[in-house]
Amino acid sequence: GAGAAVVSEVRALRTAEWVLGLGLEAPTGVLVPFVDLVGTVHRSGVALAVAGRSAAYRSAAFSLGGRAGLRLQVSDHLFVQASGQGTAVGPSTWGATVGMGVAAF
């Protein structure tokens, strides 16, 4: 009835993203600007128990956006980079990253 307590619990929550980017770099020397077109598949799932009854829900979505940044070549094979990204189509996401990596070439 109205006002009665209902026991609910989340038994599992899973999220995953698969990202594919296609980009361009300007070979300007040690400091390299870059831009990417980024497509992301977002998947999530949740398992619940509400008042003793189990339920599970899943969702999937696709977003398309861009990423731009600068890469600094520290040595022959080591670089650091900073970038920002946002979506134009699909779920609205935005973010910034700072990272380091190893160049194989």
Residues 59 and 75: beta-carbon distance below 8 Å: no
Three-state secondary structure call for residue 77? coil
pTM for the full predicted model = 0.70
Q: What is the pLDDT of residue 1?
A: 60
- Residue 57's pLDDT is 95
Average pLDDT score over residue span 44-67: 94
Q: Spell out the residues 6+ positions from residue 17 whose beta carbon is closer than 8 angstroms to its own.
A: 40, 41, 42, 43
**Closest residue by Cα to residue 40 from 25, 53, 58, 22:** 22
Does residue 63 contact residue 87 with C-beta atoms inside 8 Å? yes
